[in-house]
Each structure stands twice: as structure tokens, then as C-alpha cells.
Amino acid sequence: MIAALYDIHGNLFALEAVLREVRAAHVDLIVVGGDVLPGPMPRETLACLMSLDIPVCFIHGNGDRVVAAHLAGGDISEVPEAFRETIHWTAQQLDPDQRQAIARWPPTHRVDISGLGPTLFCHATPRNDTECFTRLTAEERLAPLFAQVDASVVVCGHTHMQFDRTVSRRRIVNAGSVGMPFQSPPGAYWLLLGPAVELRRTGYDFEKAAEAIRATAFPQADNLAVRYVLNPPAEEESLRMFAAAELV
């Protein structure tokens, strides 16, 4: 049995709540599907994940990749100017071991899962970590992305909304977001895989988490606390937001 945890975004409270359920499920492996970063508690969140006594595999998301690029002196112009401060702040919080670790995370990971078969984990799509699609994206637009994928199941994230759909006879599952959901009700969204696919949502003390996030110096702390911990948007609102960005 495998737990897929995506888009944690430095929300340590959400992660710790999910890990309690992960332990209760006696999983064999945790796959962290990218975008542990940026976020308000990056050092603490990475320390938690990197010290687990459960086997963990990491892949990078666009957020982790950009933080690593910034640390290496690379170009981060793909990040909108309004959010570059969050990348800089997050990068400055990491210790040397964490900086080295995120630079080594691969873009994908494959596992054979009992009951599901060969499963590919990617952050956004199999070809990159930035493309957006949702449960409503037309199958004919998605089919080319998955045509050459040698897997029965593809697990993704990036858009922070859970779904489970079929594209060209492949099962495509979005894990949702542990720390910054773009769907309601509030909670930490993740997956339990094998032999079935379980879309999970874990509750935690949202008020306490929001207070702790606001107490950090993270540049987007208040927005994260109010908009995505206490009052995440309805899925319909997020679907409208992504409609213009699908596969751009």
C-alpha cells in the first residue's frame, strides 16, 4: 500500500495530520509528489519528511525545482514577479542537507502497485511539471500526453484538486493538495493506493495552523492561512481559474 502526498507547500500542521493516518494505514511507501516548497515552514516540513521511519520517494514539482534553481543562481523568470519573494524567502530557510536533497529529486517515479499495476508518479503531466489539466479537460486534448506512457495508472498533482478519471484506457488520478487545497471543504487531501484508489481528506486544527502560519515571516502567510487553510475555494471556482490555462 502506498500513500501519495502532493503539494504540501510547507504546511507542517496538515502534513503531520496526514502522517498520523498514513501510519494507521500501515503503508509500505510514501511518494511525495512535488511542491513540498515553497511555503511557510519549509525547513520543518522537509525535516519531518526526511526523518520518517517509513520508506519515502520524492519527485520534484515546479516549486521545488525553482527553489533549487534559485539556490544554484539560476533563472527563475518563469515565476510571476509577485511570487518571487516567496521563492527567495523559502530558499533562505533551508539547511545545506535540504538544499542538496531537493536538487537531486527526479521528475517522475514508477512503482508496481498490487491491484493497480505499473504506476507512474509525476507532478503535473508526464512531460513536465507545469502543465495544467483538470477533471473537465477534454480527453482528446489529454490523449497525446499519455499515449507513450508505459503505465496503467498515472498519479499527478499540481492543480491542487482531486479527481479520478480515465484517458485513453489509463487511469489518471490527481492526489489533490495536502497543504494548500483548491477545493473545499477545508482539509489535507491525499491518496491511498493499492489495491484500490482511495481519495482521502484529513481534518486538522485549521485555526491553530492558520495562527502558526501567520506567525511566520513567509511573504504570503496571511493569504495561505485565510484563503487555503481556513476557507479554501470551491472546486467550481478553481475549475474556472484553470480553464484558461489548460495545457498552455
The 10s digit of each residue's pLDDT in 51-64 is: 999 999 999 999 99
In a domain, 248, yes or no: no
CB 192, CB 25: distance < 8 Å: yes
- CATH number of the domain encompassing residue 229: 3.60.21.10
139: three-class secondary structure by DSSP: helix
Q: For the purposes of burial, counting CB atoms within 10 Å of the CB of 196, is it exposed (0-12), middle (13-18) or buried (19 or more)?
A: exposed
User: Which is it for the CA torsion 122, 163, 183, 201, positive or negative?
Assistant: negative
Per-residue confidence at 215, pLDDT binned at 50, 70, 90? very high
Mean pLDDT over 40-52 rounds to 98
Rounded Cα distance between 119 and 171, Å, is 9
Q: How far is Cα 123 from Cα 156, in angstroms, rounded to an integer? A: 5
Across all residues in the chain, what is the average pLDDT?
95
Examine residue 107 and state whether it is found in any structural domain, yes or no: yes
Total domains in the chain come to 1
> 46 falls in which pLDDT band (50, 70, 90)?
very high
In this prediction, residue 168 has a pLDDT band, given cuts at 50, 70 and 90, of confident
Q: Identify whether 55 is part of a domain.
A: yes
Count the neighbouring beta carbons within 10 Å of the beta carbon of residue 92: 13
Residue 139 belongs to domain spanning: 2-243
Is 168 a domain residue?
A: yes
pLDDT given at position 147: 86
Q: Confidence band (pLDDT; 50, 70, 90) for 105?
A: very high
Distance CA 91, CA 80 (A): 17
